[in-house]
Amino acid sequence: MPTLEFTVYKGSEGGKIIEGTSVANALAPNEVLIKITHAGLCGTDLHYRGQDMVLGHEGVGVVQQIGTQVTHFKVGDRAGWGYLHESCMNCENCLTGDEILCPERHMYGTHEHDRGAFASHAVWNESYLFHIPDEISSSDAAPMMCGGATVFNALEKYGVRDTDRVGVVGVGGLGHFAIQIAAKMGCEVVVFSSMESKKEEAIRLGATEFYPIKGAKELKIGKLLNQLLVTTSQQPDWDMYLSIMAPGSTIFPLTVSEGELKLPYEPILVNAIRVQGCICPSRAIHMKFLRFAAFHKIKPVTQEFPLTKKGIEEAMDRLDKGDIKYRAVLVADKA
């Protein structure tokens, strides 16, 4: 394959988006060249806006070329990728299907700074790419590469059951995925939001109960919660939520938040409440999520922007202001 020079959009000190170029030489035997058509904008991208790296990790596109040993993709296939780029495949985590926790993992923000979803093309190891089901559009698939998959990972990996009452704090980029996924799993979905105007949409997405929390000092919801997914950018009033958690329940803090996680000690101790960290899924759960989303018609609420320097800046600025409903998708010209 001749050297290919393609457009990339990088962060920089001060947060200005820089349009540049990157070069892909001959593909390695296991690599795939993807023409990017859609890229999701995730809150994590805001954290890396000040770094000299290609931004974006919710990529979807069309396979243009394949390496000599690629067996799972062919030219013309749609493919997507998320946070995980590589893993050692030999450690205990990898061998038990938990490669997202591999000590030698390559992830967005730590490795391959010359590649990302905010670009015209990208080259990736085929083992860390996902086929996009025919039932899911590329625009809808992009936010599923991280946001949707992360929520599904929490519910699937840690044994949430259809008999559980699942609380969701926030109706936003992650929260609106959480409502749909938990509802399709058969759970009672109890939603908490500071905006009472979101009640109608939360119910439409699958919520069975909705509680406005702006100005609230206590919550009265009847039966206690078995699981709580915290999807807001800021940490909630933990005292208020711990009072509605059932003994043996689990709290999932899902969004990246700076600072320390501080929780009241005694309620967690006496009620055996677990606080479970959770990031993006390993590949098996990610593939399962795409099948689940296709079958159950999970669909993100999105706003589209052009995959250009101006479009990226507008989308990121609006996300930073909380002015996106609920996931931004950057779309390449003639996608």
Q: Which sequence spans correspond to the domains of the chain?
A: 4-146+281-331, 149-275
Percent of the chain with pLDDT over 90: 93
Residue 132: predicted pLDDT: 98
Average pLDDT over residues 6-12: 97
Burial of 270 (0-12, 13-18, 19+ CB in 10 A): exposed
Average pLDDT over residues 4-23: 95
Contact 157, 229 (CB under 8 A): no
Residue 4: predicted pLDDT: 82
Residue 25: predicted pLDDT: 82
Residue 256: predicted pLDDT: 77
pTM of the model: 0.95
Start-to-end CA span in the chain (Å): 23
CATH topology identical between 4-146+281-331 and 149-275: no
Residue 195: predicted pLDDT: 95
Residue 255: predicted pLDDT: 83
| pLDDT range class, residue 233, cuts 50, 70, 90 | confident
Question: 271 CB contacts (<8 Å, ≥6 apart)?
Answer: 242, 245, 246, 247, 248, 249
Burial of 113 (0-12, 13-18, 19+ CB in 10 A): middle
- Condensed to tens digits (0 to 9), the pLDDT of residues 238-294 reads 999 999 999 999 999 998 777 888 899 999 999 999 999 999 999 999 999 999 999
Average pLDDT over residues 71-89: 97
Residue 335: predicted pLDDT: 59
In the CATH scheme, what is the code of domain 149-275? 3.40.50.720
In the CATH scheme, what is the code of domain 4-146+281-331? 3.90.180.10
User: Whole-angstrom Cα distance, residue 95 to residue 281?
Assistant: 15
Name the average pLDDT for the chain: 96
User: Whole-angstrom Cα distance, residue 330 to residue 289?
Assistant: 22
Residue 32: predicted pLDDT: 97
User: Whole-angstrom Cα distance, residue 118 to residue 38?
Assistant: 9
